[in-house]
Amino acid sequence: MKISPFVGLLVGSLAGLGTSSLLPRDHDTNDYYVLHLDSRTDPNHVASRLGLRNEGQLGELADHFVFRAPITNHDVVRREVDERRRKRSLGGADVLDSVKFSQKQKLHAPMQKRVIPSPPSGFFPQRKRDDTADPKALDYQKSVMETLGISDPIFNEQWHLFNPLQLGHDVNVTGVWLSGVTGKNATVAMVDDGLDMYSNDLKPNYYAFGSWDFNDNRAEPRPTLDDDKHGTRCAGEVSAARNDVCGVGVAYDSKIAGIRILSKQISDADEAAALNYDYQHNQIYSCSWGPPDDGRSMDAPGILIKKAMLNGVQKGRNGLGSIYVFASGNGAQSDDNCNFDGYTNSIYSITVGAIDRKGLHPYYSEKCSAQLVVTYSSGSGDAIHTTDVGENQCYNGHGGTSAAAPLAAGIFALALEVRPDLSWRDMQYIALESAVPVDLDSGEWQPTTMGKKYSHTFGYGKIDTYALVEIAKTWKNVKPQAWFYSPWLHVKKEIPQGDQGLSVNFEVTKEMLQEANLERLEHVTVTMNVEHTQRGDLSVDLISPDNVISHISATRRLDQSDQGYDDWTFMSVVHWGESGVGKWTIVIRDTQVNDHKGTFVDWHLKLWGESIDASKAKLLPLPTEEDDADHDVTATATPTAITTSLPPPPDATNTAIPTSLPDDHPERPVKPSNTNSDGGPSATGTESAAAETTTESSWLPSFLPSFGVSSSTVAWIYGALGLIVAFCAGLGAWLWWVRRKRIRNNPRDTYEFEPLNADESAAGVDGGREKGTKRRGGELYDAFAGGSDDEEFNDRDHSSLVSEDSDDERDEDRGATRK
Ligand SMILES: *[C@@H]1O[C@H](CO)[C@@H](O)[C@H](O)[C@H]1NC(C)=O
Ligand SMILES: *[C@@H]1O[C@H](CO)[C@@H](O)[C@H](O)[C@H]1NC(C)=O
């Protein structure tokens, strides 16, 4: 099945325009694959080699392409690539050697909106308006409205903008508006269930070019389902126009785009494209959604989405970085914690929690050490009053952390009006620098090294818009990011039950950080492996050299998972401003004395912050998490102590083909011990190395004639080469024989001859890889699973495949916890 060169050309040129995301998807009759190719490879060659159609680049991800195929149950790309890998040692060039990663796309349930959850039993909200308005405050409100020409009918109800009842409990924006800052020339994209651009309140500020409907493949992200109201309500908080409809947005002169992803099932590829959509103009992405807030899920975005977020902070806004704002989550009453959500605990997102109109912590708003700030939302008998779907519809019951994140996003838009040059990290700095601690008596506030207070409930405090914009005006941009990675630190000890916990530590020296070009800290992440039969019993504290404590994990009474922590990364913003030098301690507790026990296997500390020398700063390679896969790089002196919590080799049940799990692959390239120079993972280097390797093995004869050495040496080399060639020929013949034999003996290869059985065979392959029942069959692509014949010749080439693949495996957990 070949596509005509003309179609290839046409599609290729469309791809060049970066319009791939605009091509309609039809998952009923097609399968979609994302392939990461060597940058020199023409995707059309790969497409015709595989008999697929090239649908163009995946969003803004360079070298990532979407391919389309008629629907089947198996993974046709994986099958072909496996097949090629088996034959590779026989020589010859094949365009499939340029495939670094492939993933068959699956539709998954949309992310969950952070709407107000039902209150806990026994919860009686206080009566609405139980205070009387201050007459002076009412006068001020009136004068503000007159001065600014605000005549919006529900402005008086928008207490979050100006609160004449509970004085001081609003975002303190009026002074900013009066100074003329209203969001002009700033753009916020609502990534949600749509945006009603025909609402008279949103129409004036609607930014069509930055909008797209990824659920229904159309340019207008118009709400269509009964339930599609969330995005419009969130948009109203940001950018409802100053007019005679409802109220105003906090940045009422900003532009607002709608990116619709929450109304239907969606693939990781489309979600990734959504998070980079029009990222030169969409400056802020407001995301009031995430994995379920059920206190059981431990769910991170898939590798393509992770790549898109890093791509966004590196390339969005001409390199200043897209600003991702995420709602912390509404699962507090189920003991949920935003460090169990891979979007909110990403260092690339600003996590925003909620406080209510009395400045209290609402029952739903989640705590965690990744939470940066809070702002107003529902609780204490009231909610957020905003625009609704419909020409002139308003809504007075918007809430949950869903309503807090857009408010923050709008406030950041005001900062961008005065300082469009703020980087994604500058925005995090000014957010925490200007935040005001609230509820000092009950907020578990702790002093931090930079002279701030931090609470896991309120982050650095509530946003004060006036203070934030003032700080933005004179903010000196921070230097580029740098990072330091510890090696994997192996523990492999049982965790005692009760309060005492198990404590381990790692000493960071000044030299290590100097070598890593790291001046002072911003984010700290800890990746952990813990085996435990009841995950919710665990809690983890990270204690810095300055004795500042992050509760990076907390107990969750409903979390009965027996999966423990599997390469899970927790994040903390609590150590912002510390030097990082000294002893970092992890205390892990198994808080319940019961039959559920566990083992702390290993951990990996990463310090992120501002560089010392900006000229030496580098861009972090897109994630492959190969660093997290390198569990063998150890800091322990006794190699016998090296263990990992990884599952048994996936093909353990299939003895016909020797294969090894990427993570314990003996020839795996090992990064120089990770107390390393720049601290950075070397994926870029690995990729180019992979390219070289491919070239060498494919084009060996082309360099035969010239060695630049003496003729006798040349003769010797040719002699040696002759022997090698003879050996290879023999080996090739032997492999061919082994393979034929295997094909005869092994049903898994019979699909070549009996296509009707293909699905079963493919399922068998996937089945062999399954770890328990966690995996979604058919989606995994393991470059090795089919054969390791050529691994010894080309292990470097594999590393990027391996790491992406192993990441992809983790990614599978996501499907399991999501319904
Ligand atoms: C709010 O903004 C005003 C300026 O309009 C400023 O003087 C004040 O400090 C800010 N904070 C509070 C809590 O009012
Ligand atoms: C608006 O923003 C664009 C891009 O950030 C910039 O080039 C332009 O000068 C800005 N216009 C105004 C009026 O600030």
Region 482-695: CATH code? 2.60.120.260
**Is the CB of 185 within 6 Å of ligand 2?**
yes
Active site residue 559: no
Q: What is the mean pLDDT of the chain?
A: 80
Residue 653's pLDDT band, with cuts at 50, 70 and 90, is very low
**Nearest residue (CA) to ligand 2, atom 5:** 420
Each domain of the chain, given as residue ranges in start order, spans: 5-104, 112-120+134-474, 482-695
**Is the CB of 13 within 6 Å of ligand 2?**
no
Selected catalytic residue, list 402, 423, 553, 572 = 402
**Is the CB of 547 within 6 Å of ligand 2?**
no
**DSSP code at position 367:** B
Segments of 145-279 assigned E as strands: 187-192, 212-213, 255-260
Question: Would you state the structure tokens that stand for residue 290, as one six-digit string?
Answer: 């995430």
What is the phi-psi region of residue 194: left when phi exceeds 0, alpha when psi lies from -120 to 50, beta otherwise? left
pLDDT in tens, 412-436: 999 999 999 999 999 999 999 999 9
Q: How far, in Å, from the CA of 172 to the mean position of ligand 1?
A: 6
- Ligand 1 site: residues with CB under 6 angstroms? 168, 172, 175, 464, 466
Q: How far, in Å, from the CA of 770 to the mean position of ligand 1?
A: 58
| CA distances (Å), origin 121, targets 400, 557, 558 | 17, 17, 16
**Nearest residue (CA) to ligand 1, atom 6:** 466
pLDDT in tens, 370-413: 999 999 999 999 999 999 999 999 999 999 999 999 999 999 99
Q: How far, in Å, from the CA of 70 to the mean position of ligand 2?
A: 45
Residue 799's pLDDT band, with cuts at 50, 70 and 90, is very low
Give the least confident one: 256-265, 304-313, 705-714.
Answer: 705-714
Mean pLDDT of 201-222: 97
**Is the CB of 120 within 6 Å of ligand 2?**
no
Q: Which atom of ligand 1 is nearest to the CA of 466?
A: 2
Residue 654's pLDDT band, with cuts at 50, 70 and 90, is very low
In this predicted structure, the answer to whether residue 105 has a pLDDT above a threshold of 90 is yes
Q: How far, in Å, from the CA of 185 to the mean position of ligand 2?
A: 6
In sequence order, what DSSP letters do the residues of 729-745 get, joined into one string?
A: HHHHHHHHHHHHHHHHH
Residue 655's pLDDT band, with cuts at 50, 70 and 90, is very low
Active site residue 706: no
Q: How far, in Å, from the CA of 417 to the mean position of ligand 2?
A: 9
Among residues 175, 181, 177, 171, which one has the least CA distance to residue 419? Answer: 181
Q: How far, in Å, from the CA of 621 to the mean position of ligand 2?
A: 30
Question: Would you state the structure tokens that stand for residue 191, as one six-digit string?
Answer: 């990534």
Instruction: Look at residue 635 in the predicted model and tell me its pLDDT.
Output: 54
Residue 120's pLDDT band, with cuts at 50, 70 and 90, is low
Mean pLDDT of 439-461: 94
Instruction: Look at residue 673 in the predicted model and tell me its pLDDT.
Output: 34
Residue 23's pLDDT band, with cuts at 50, 70 and 90, is confident
Selected catalytic residue, list 82, 192, 566, 808 = 192
pTM of the model: 0.78
Instruction: Look at residue 119 in the predicted model and tell me its pLDDT.
Output: 75
CATH superfamily of 112-120+134-474: Peptidase S8/S53 domain (3.40.50.200)
**Nearest residue (CA) to ligand 2, atom 9:** 185
Query: What does the alpha-carbon distance between residue 346 and residue 542 come to, in Å, rounded to a whole number?
Result: 17
Ligand nearest to the CA of residue 280, numbered in listed order: 2
Q: Which atom of ligand 1 is nearest to the CA of 467?
A: 10
Q: How far, in Å, from the CA of 184 to the mean position of ligand 2?
A: 9
Selected catalytic residue, list 36, 74, 160, 230 = 230
In sequence order, what DSSP letters do the residues of 440-491 get, joined into one string?
A: TTTS--EE-TTS-EEBTTTBT-B--HHHHHHHHHHPPPPPPEEEEEPPBEEE
**Nearest residue (CA) to ligand 1, atom 13:** 168
**Is the CB of 318 within 6 Å of ligand 2?**
no
Instruction: Look at residue 670 in the predicted model and tell me its pLDDT.
Output: 30
